[in-house]
A and B are shown apart, each in its own frame.
Chain A
Amino acid sequence: MPKPIKDSELRTLLLESQPPDANDAHSARALDRALVALRNAPKMKEKSFGGLRVAVAATACVACVFLGFALNWRGEESSSHVLSEMEHIFPGQLQAVILNGSQTDLRLSMFPENGLSTDQRVRVIVETGTETAEILTYSGRRICILLKSGPLCLTPLLTAQGDVIVVTEDSAFARTGRSNSAKIHASSIHRS
């Protein structure tokens, strides 16, 4: 019969496992590569959308227009209206509209996509202790947002019964659940 191990003994045993030493040459190469990536990355002040200046300008304009809607936000009916307006402005390109506090963000594909389905609309509300983000999107689109607590990626899926299943990197749930320390609530949006 083996002797049971106490917690303190387990800790001591585990600490005996030592990682291999770092390879200095590899670490130096890694730093060089990371710095090259940093040089090619957008800067904080630029606020670019994939480096496309046109997209930045368009998004800024739309964000201004959109602010009016945001001020009169009225839940599902308004969500449907906002999506319709944005689809009209960016036909075949709209992936999601994201409201986070006073900030509005549009996710657009680079080019219009033929046959892009926009009839399965979904509204997802993400709440952490300090912020609330609202995502208006379509079933099956993977949307990533950057919260203060870190990035969060999710895919809402509309079922035949009109229910919404949300799939995140660490969980899947119907309508309401938690991921990445955030409470998530999803519902379908009916066309107004």
Chain B
Amino acid sequence: MAKPDDDLSALVQSAGNGDETAFSELFRRYYDRLRIFAWRIVFDSLAAEDIAQESLIRTARRVHSLRDGRAFEGWIFRITANLARDHLRARVSHEKKIAAAAWETPTNERVTMVSEHIEMALMSLPIPQREAIALVYYDGCNHAEAARRLGCAEATVSWRIMLAKRTLKKCLSR
């Protein structure tokens, strides 16, 4: 088995040809970053692990179709963001069903379980703003890089960050 280069494109190409060592290296580099990125969107550690796992399984299934290794990072972060959104949609739907079955109004129990004031403030943000904050503040991306990973315009990321900051400042200054 050929030893993969340290270069991301070469790793992606080797993984696309079925090289398990190369894919394991990609896994080692990205699993935790994806897990943390997912956690910053869903704020549920088990769900974040599942999302990171599913992202990398999907990556393994489709990496052969990626023609340009440089697009890899944006690609897997977008897969993760979409899975996190799906998870949140399913969770909201599930919670509504439970509340309806119990003849209760939906409670914000999950929110109150997250004791950290900052996390509660972050959870109050709409999902696109959470994604932007996760990439810019926690993954160290500039707006252009975050836009590439989220598949939107740089101006859109800047706008989302501006709105998020306004909300966070309001929440955290109470």
Q: Could you list which residues of chain A lie within 8 angstroms of chain B, going by C-beta atoms?
A: 2-5, 7, 10-11, 13-17, 19-20, 22-23, 26-27, 29-31, 33-35, 37-46, 146, 148-151, 169-170, 178-181
Contact = CB atoms under 8 A, between A and B. Distances in A.
Interface of B: 13, 15-18, 20, 23-24, 27, 31-32, 35-36, 39-40, 45, 48-49, 52-53, 56-68, 71, 74-75, 78, 82, 116, 118-119, 122, 133, 137-138, 147-148, 151-153, 165, 168-169, 172-174
A33 B122 CA distance: 32
A150 B62 CA distance: 12
A16 B118 contact: yes
B132 to A, nearest CB: 12
User: Which residue, B20, B75, B122, B169, has most C-beta atoms of chain A within 10 A?
Assistant: B169
Given A35-B24, A43-B64, A148-B67, A30 B17 contact: no
A38 B20 contact: yes
30 contacts: A2-B173, A3-B173, A4-B173, A5-B173, A7-B165, A10-B168, A10-B172, A14-B133, A15-B137, A17-B118, A17-B122, A20-B39, A20-B45, A22-B35, A23-B49, A26-B49, A30-B31, A30-B53, A31-B56, A34-B56, A35-B24, A38-B15, A38-B60, A38-B61, A41-B64, A146-B65, A148-B68, A179-B151, A180-B151, A180-B152
Contacts of B23: 34-35, 38
B151 A169 contact: yes
A80 B39 CA distance: 48
Contacts, number: 133
Main secondary structure of the interface of B (DSSP, over half): helix
Given A30-B49, A38-B18, A179-B151, A13 B57 contact: no
Contacts of B63: 38, 41
Contact of B172 (A5, A34, A170): A5
A14 B168 contact: yes
A89 B62 CA distance: 29
B24 A181 contact: no
A17 B61 CA distance: 34
A149 B27 contact: no
